């Protein structure tokens, strides 16, 4: 099974492609797609959709794993992230992907066994769980990889 996993954002969008193999989960691709704050927001959403569509067409995943939003402080930012997330879900639906959403708590629990794990604990476990060299990737890529691994851990198909 091949998964496209997304850490949603409109300035930075973490993207990972993972595949389940007999001997574990393999990271095929990861990226942090960025948009410019100088662009109109609608143009940034269009860029996200176009990038996601191209990635889906290239890698042909069967499933989207995406993090649910957790609104902590800035509601204006959260609304914008929600809109970018909507573009991602739309593109996945357009491509007939099965969509699985996970809360940050579910992701942390699946990856570390502890729902309040910090960023360093998450990064350490992601490196241990995935079959690929993960050197200098962004936090957004790590979060996307973690969402994909969570999809495998929960046995979602």
pLDDT of 39-94, one tens digit each?
Answer: 999 999 999 999 999 999 999 999 999 999 877 677 778 899 999 999 999 999 99
User: Taking the complete model, does pTM exceed 0.85, yes or no?
Assistant: yes
The closest alpha carbon to 67, from 4, 25, 155, 116, belongs to: 4
Residue 11 C-alpha from the chain's centroid? 14
User: Does pLDDT of 16 surpass 90?
Assistant: yes
Catalytic pick among 67, 91, 141, 143: 67
What confidence score (pLDDT) does residue 78 get?
87
Is residue 118 annotated as part of the catalytic site, yes or no? no
Write down the mean pLDDT value for the chain: 92
Q: Taking residues 110-127, what's their average pLDDT?
A: 92
CB atoms within 10 A of CB 148: 34
Is residue 62 annotated as part of the catalytic site, yes or no? no
Is residue 67 annotated as part of the catalytic site, yes or no? yes
Structural domain of 16: 2-153
* Domain CATH for 58: 3.30.420.10
Q: Taking residues 10-38, what's their average pLDDT?
A: 93
Catalytic pick among 19, 140, 141, 143: 140
For residues 112 and 43, what is the distance between their CA atoms, to the nearest angstrom? 37
CB-side exposure of 141: number of CA atoms within 13 Å? 17
Q: Is 135 exposed, middle or buried (0-12, 13-18, 19+ CB in 10 A)?
A: exposed
The tally of domains found in the chain comes to: 1
Bridge partners, residue 12, by sequence: 34
Q: Name the 3-class secondary structure at 91.
A: helix
Catalytic pick among 7, 19, 25, 91: 7
Helices (H), 1-138: 41-59, 75-94, 104-112, 119-129
């Amino acid at each position: 099974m091949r998964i496209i996993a997304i850490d949603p954002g409109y300035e930075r969008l973490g993207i990972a492609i993972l595949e389940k193999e007999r001997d574990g989960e393999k990271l095929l691709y990861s990226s942090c797609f960025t948009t410019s704050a100088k662009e109109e927001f609608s143009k940034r959403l269009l860029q996200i959709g176009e990038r996601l569509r191209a990635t889906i067409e290239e890698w042909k995943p069967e499933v989207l794993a995406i993090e649910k939003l957790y609104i902590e402080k800035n509601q204006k930012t959260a609304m914008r992230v929600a809109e970018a997330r909507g573009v991602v879900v739309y593109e996945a639906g357009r491509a007939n992907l099965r969509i699985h959403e996970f809360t940050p708590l579910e992701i942390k629990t699946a990856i570390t066994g502890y729902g309040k794990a910090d960023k360093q604990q998450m990064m350490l476990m992601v490196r241990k769980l995935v079959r690929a060299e993960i050197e200098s990737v962004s936090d957004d890529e790590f979060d996307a990889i973690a969402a994909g691994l969570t999809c495998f851990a929960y046995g979602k198909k």
